[in-house]
Amino acid sequence: MNILGINWGAHDNAAALVRDGMVVAAAEEERFNRIKHAPYAYPLRAAAYCLHEAGIRVEDVNEVVFSFHPTLQLGASILHTARFFPRGAFVTLAELVRRVWYAGSSMYSDYFLHLTRRTRRFWVPHHTAHAASACFAAPFERSAVLIVDGVGEWPVTTAFRAEGSQLERLRQISYPNSIGFLYSAFTEYLGFEPFDAEYKVMGLAAYGDPSRYRQQLREIVTLEADGLYRLDLSYFNFQYDYGRSTWYNPQKMQEVFGPPWSKDVLPDQRCADIAAALQERTEETLFHIADWLHATTGMENLCMAGGVALNSVANGKLLRRGPFRQIYIQGAANDAGCALGAALYRAVAVHKQPRQPLRHLYFGPGYSTSEVETALQATHMPYRRVEDPAATAARLLTENKIVGWYQGRLEFGPRALGNRSILGDPRQEDMKERINAAIKFREPFRPFAPSVLAERASEFFTDIEDSPFMILVTDVRPEKRAVVPAITHVDGTGRLHTVERETNPLYWQLIHAFGELTGVPMVLNTSFNVRGQPIVNTPSEALATFYTSGLDALVMDTFLVEK
C-alpha cells in the first residue's frame, strides 16, 4: 500500500511516501522552490519527487493524508472570539479562512497531482501527525509522547500514550497558552524573525544570566498542578491578531523588559539575559509537563515532536535530568515531519502495518555520478576525480580548509546530517569565525555542531552518547574543550551529532580518516547553504554556493573542486 503524506499550509510544507509501513521518500518543498520554509506553497515538487523515488505513478497511490483536520475544535475558535471580543474576532476569522483552506486541500491535490477517484483522501489531526512521526519511528514498543508547538487546529500542547500501533490522547492544552508562540514573541522582541530564528535565541541564551529576569518569566508562565501551565497574556498580541501585528504587546514588554531590540544591531547583554531567562522558563515548563506525563503513564520512554522539540538545549537537559530513561525525537520534529507522521499514522495505527524505527533521515533526492559530472562540466571550471572522497576530504580538513561535502541523498528535516554539509577542523579556534565570515554570515554568538563517531562520542561528551539527528545538546568534557574549541559553545556544551557506520558509511569513513590523521574523530558540521537560503539540493546548487562563497574545496560524489 502506497500512502502519500502531505503537510501543507502555513510553513515547512512537505511530502512523504510510506509503502507498507516503510518510509521510501520524504522532502520539504523549500528544497525545490528555494524559498526558506516554503510558506503557503503546496508541496507539488516534493510530492512529485516522492512518487518518482518510489517508482510509482499517481494512479498507484492508495491514500493521500493531510496533517490538519479542518473541522476539529472549530467551536473552540469561535468561543475565542467571545473571550477576547472584539479584538479576538480577527483570530476566529483567520481560523475560519485557514480551515477552509485546509478543507480544500483535497481539491488542491486533485488539481496539482491529478489524483484519480480511486485514491482515498484523509485528514489527520495536526498533533496526532506530530505524535505518529515520533512514536511510530522510535525503537520503543511503548512510550509516552509529548507534542509542544505553536498551534495545531487549536491544541498547543498534547500528551499521548503509545503502545504498539495504538496512539491514545491523554490531555491537551489549548490556544492561546502556547509555549511555541511565547518563544516566538520573545524572538521578535529580541530583534529576530519569529517562526524562523527561535534557534538563534536559544544560542544567545548561553551568553546570558537568567537570574536578572527570572522572576518576570515566572510571572509570565505559571506552572500549575498536574502538569498544567498558563500564560499571562497581557504581554502578548497573538491572541488578538494572530501575527497581523507584533506577536508581543509593545507597551507591556517595554514596561518590564525595556525597549524592543532593533533587527539591525547585534544583541547586547540585556538581550542575552532575557534570552537566558526565557530558555530557563521554557525548560522548567517542559520538565513540569514531563514529570506529570511520567507519573501518569509509568512509561520509561518518551517521544517528542513539534517545533519546541527542536530546542536541543532543553532536550539534552531533559534526557540528563529524567524522569524518562530514553528520549526519541525524530529529526524532522517541525511541521515538515507531519507529512511523514500523517502517512505513518494511516499505515501503522489504521492499517496495522509493521513500522520501521528510523536511525537516519536520508530520504531526499540523490544524484548519480553522471548527473554530478554533467553539472561540473557546465561550469567550465577545472575538477578532478578522486579515488577516495572520504580520505581526500579528511586531508583537506587537516590543511585548515573549509570543505563542502555533497554525497548521497538529501536529508529530510532542518539539520544537515553529513550528506549536504560544510565541514571544518574542530581543533582550529578560529574556524567558527572563518566559516561565519566567508560563508554563513551568521551572528557570532551562534555555535557550530560536531559530528563525531558514535563509538567514540563518550571520549569527548558527557552523559549522551546517541544523537543521530543533532537534536540534543550536552557538555563537552572539560579536558577536551581546548582540544575542540570550534564546536564548544561559550557554556561548554555542543549540539551533538553521532555518526554510525551502518547509517552513513561514507561520512563515517571521512570522520574516521580525520581521526586517524589527528587523533580527533570529529569534524565541525554545518548545513550546506548560505544565510537565508535552504540547504542545497541539486549538484548545480552546490556548485553555485561553492563559487559564490568562501568555501576552499568541494567534494561531490567522486569529484574534487578547489579554488
Give the model confidence (pLDDT) of 232-269 as tens digits: 999 999 888 765 678 999 999 999 999 999 988 999 99
Give pLDDT, residue 242: 62
| Average pLDDT score, the chain | 94
For residues 165-180, b (16+ Cβ closer than 10 Å) or e, as one string?
Answer: bebebbbbbbbbbbbb
339 plus 272 within the same structural domain: no
Task: List the catalytic residue out of 11, 37, 80, 294.
Answer: 11
Half-sphere exposure of 314 (CA within 13 A, CB side): 31
The HSE-up count of residue 340 (CA atoms within 13 Å, CB side) is 34
pLDDT one-digit tens code per residue, 59-80: 999 999 999 998 887 778 778 7
Task: Check residue 20 and give its pLDDT.
Answer: 97
Q: Which residue has the higher pLDDT, 434 or 113?
A: 434
- pLDDT: is 465 or 135 the higher one? 135
- C-alpha 416/C-alpha 332 separation (Å) is 11
Domain that holds residue 293: 174-329
Whether residues 310 and 373 fall in one domain = no
Q: Is the pLDDT of residue 118 over 70?
A: yes
Mean pLDDT, residues 128-152: 97
The secondary structure of residue 348, as a DSSP letter, is I
**What's the domain count of the chain?**
3
167 located within any domain: no
**Structural domain contains residue 267:** yes
- pLDDT grade, residue 85 (50/70/90)? confident
**Catalytic site includes residue 127:** no
Residues 412 and 544 in one domain: yes
Residue 352 in any domain: the answer is no
Beta strands in 178-266 (DSSP E): 221-223, 229-231
CATH number at residue 339: 3.30.420.40
Q: Report the distance separating Cα 341 and Cα 62, nearest Å.
A: 17
CATH code, domain carrying 546: 3.90.870.20
**Mean local confidence (pLDDT), 520-538:** 96
Asked if residue 153 belongs to a domain, the reply is: no
Tell me: do 100 and 237 sit in the same domain.
no
| Together in a domain, 309 and 374 | no
Q: What is the pLDDT of residue 97?
A: 79
Strand pairing category for 384-385 and 559-562: antiparallel
Owner of C-alpha cell 497574556: 233
* Nearest Cα to Cα of residue 242 among 90, 110, 416: 90
**Pair (505, 424) in one structural domain:** yes
- Per-residue pLDDT of 4-46, as tens digits, reads 999 997 899 999 999 999 999 999 999 999 999 999 899 999 9
Confidence of residue 273 (pLDDT cuts 50, 70, 90): very high
Check whether residue 89 and residue 184 sit in a common domain: no
Query: Helices 269-297 and 312-321: crossing angle, nearest 10°?
Result: 50
Same domain, 108 and 238: no
The pLDDT of residue 360 is above 60: yes
Q: Is the domain of 122 the same as that of 183?
A: no
Residue 48 lies in a domain: yes
406 - beta bridge partners? Answer: 420, 556
472 and 393 within one domain: yes
Kindly report, residue by residue over 148-177, the tens digit of the pLDDT. Answer: 999 999 999 999 999 999 999 999 999 999
